[in-house]
Amino acid sequence: MNTLSRVRKLYEQWLQDPNIDNGTKEELKAIEGQEKELEDRFYKDLEFGTGGLRGVIGAGTNRMNVYTVGKATQGLAQYLLENNSANPSVAIAYDSRNQSPEFALESALVLAGNGIKAYLFDSLRTTPELSFAVRHLQASAGIVITASHNPPEYNGYKVYGQDGGQIVAEQADRIIAQIQTLEFANIRKLTREEAEAKGLLQWIGQAVDDDYVKAVIQVSPRPEIAKQEGAALNVVYTPLHGSGNITVRRVLQESGFSNVHVVAEQEKPDGQFSTVKSPNPEEREAFTLAIELGKKVNADVIIGTDPDCDRMGAVVKNSEGQYEVLTGNQSGAIMVHYLLSSLQEKNAIPSNGVIIKTIVTSEMGAEIARSYGVEVLNTLTGFKYIGEKMSEFEQSGEHQFLFGYEESYGYLAGTYARDKDAVVASMLICEAAAYYKSRGQTLYGVLQELYQQFGFYREVLESRTLKGKDGLAKIRQIMEEWRQNPPSDVCGKKVKTMLDYTQGINGLPKENVLKYRLDDDSWFCLRPSGTEPKIKVYFAVKGKTLQQSEEQMEELRRAVMSRIDD
């Protein structure tokens, strides 16, 4: 059966299926005859990967809707019932995105329909608090409804294991095997009233919040600094219409940061993210309103968190007094230095301490860590791999986890959770700013000192968005072209090694990633995004001066991207 015939068949099945509501059927009838739109909605099932589901909201097999969410949850329920002891339970949270509450409740009611207890937060919460809640409530698994920093038309469904970390490939494969056996008629669910009456839907809130906030604040390496100097630090914060507003502000306030100005236009939850092109703290545009407020109040530091509050971006004044958005690598390097210097002052760096980062994260933080005698480990891209290592070390005692981070603005200190946490990152960057301010320094000045000591590292991420079926094929074509025909040199620099991670390098899981190291220790890496229709290209150089590193970077980017675009 060709693709068009399959699409037409699935479309008709949805229109005739008695398990699908009339509103969904009307949405589908409205696109009758729009072949390209129909193909995009039905040419495949929305893929359940190690990150769960993520896609555009709407009717169809390749869309986020209550039916794709219901099938995923039914598959998860069957997996839990087959692989867990008696009385499994699942914690569920959701962010500010469109239909997040509906998808969260649907998940809870399907779990209840399978006799599995659902702990559902009574309003939106952050992803890291969900990770904490799974561990805190000793749940069998967790679900969070979010599409992180994707555009507003997206939503997603992430699954967490018993340790509070995102499920890894082996778990995902077993859940997928369950999902693939299902039709909509197989989905078992209760009504809300039935689930509550049977004790299979339990609402959670303030008590879990209190314990989570306490756990975050306890991570502080210098709690006395916020108490003594916090009021003198001028902070601007934007939650970018997401779930971080209440929790970030509470943690900052209880730590001692009383001078926090919130961007009013971006304070309230808004699934359309109406004041930004993208609710992504990696983008300078997302900080436009925050920087305007920062100028008015003379902020020492500006922080922003994404919709599910697992990514934190920071903005600081440079030597000319202009606000500059730090990269994830720069913020990470500052936090590694601050955390380890604080522990060193108290002679508290453990002999088996470890920093964990990803293969596309800068080596600068690693060099800083090693200068303190701390080991650094690399994982594949995705915080789930960092969380997996944390749980492994918790069991073995081989290492004591100190800090984990990735270049895409994800950080975690402490072991209360197994996912990146913008709440603890906000606290740490503010604490570092307060500490250095008390010593007459700025975060930007500290960063320059680190460059002088360790080298002028420069990293850049380029991406190309290629949507739909044709885009997916193009991304595969690009990766295969670079794999089969690797360059021998780039910009006159010899390619020293090509690392093809589909081969399972250094004991890491197999993944479609290519990394090329040049003989001047610069590198670049090609990786299809796991959550968006993009191919991502990471670049890193190290120069003796800022100007030299910028020139090296521009030359490397131009050479690689011209081949990709061709």
pLDDT surpasses 80 at 313: yes
In sequence order, the 6+-apart residues with CB closer than 8 A to the CB of 562 are none
Strand blocks (E) in 371-455: 375-379, 400-406, 410-413
Strands 534-543 and 456-465: antiparallel
The secondary structure element, H or E, covering residue 207 is helix 206-217
Residue 322 DSSP class: -
pLDDT in tens, 336-351: 999 999 999 999 999 9
Q: What is the pLDDT of residues 353-375, one digit of tens each?
A: 999 999 999 999 999 999 999 99
CA-CA-CA-CA dihedral for 480, 483, 484, 486, to nearest 10: 130
Nearest residue to 486 (alpha-carbon basis) of 537, 494, 462:
494
Are residues 464 and 452 in contact, defined by beta-carbon separation less than 8 angstroms? no
Where helices occur in 439-545 by DSSP H, the ranges are 443-454, 468-484
Give the confidence band of 169 by pLDDT, cuts at 50, 70, 90: confident
Domains of the chain by start residue, with CATH = 44-211 (3.40.120.10), 231-454 (3.40.120.10), 457-565 (3.30.310.50)
For the cut 80, the answer to whether the pLDDT of residue 85 exceeds it is: no
Q: What is the Cα–Cα distance from 111 to 117, expressed in whole angstroms?
A: 7
Residues labelled as active-site residues: 148
Model confidence over 140-164: pLDDT tens digits? Answer: 999 999 999 889 999 999 999 999 9
Residue with tokens 């969410």: 69
Cα separation, 346 vs 356, whole angstroms: 22
In this prediction the pTM is 0.95
Q: In what order do the strands lie in the sheet with 534-543?
A: 456-465, 534-543, 523-528, 514-518, 493-500, 489-490
Q: What percent of the chain has pLDDT over 70?
A: 99
Mean pLDDT of the chain: 95
pLDDT number for residue 529? 87
CA dihedral of residues 490, 495, 497, 503 (deg, nearest 10): 40
Q: Which residue has the higher pLDDT, 554 or 170?
A: 554
Answer whether residue 56 shows pLDDT above 90.
yes
> Is 39 strand, coil or helix?
helix
Residue 541 to residue 556: CA distance in whole angstroms = 9
**Cα three-residue angle 117-91-206, rounded to 5 degrees:** 110
Q: What value does the mean pLDDT take over residues 525-543?
A: 91
Label residue 55 by pLDDT band (50, 70, 90).
very high
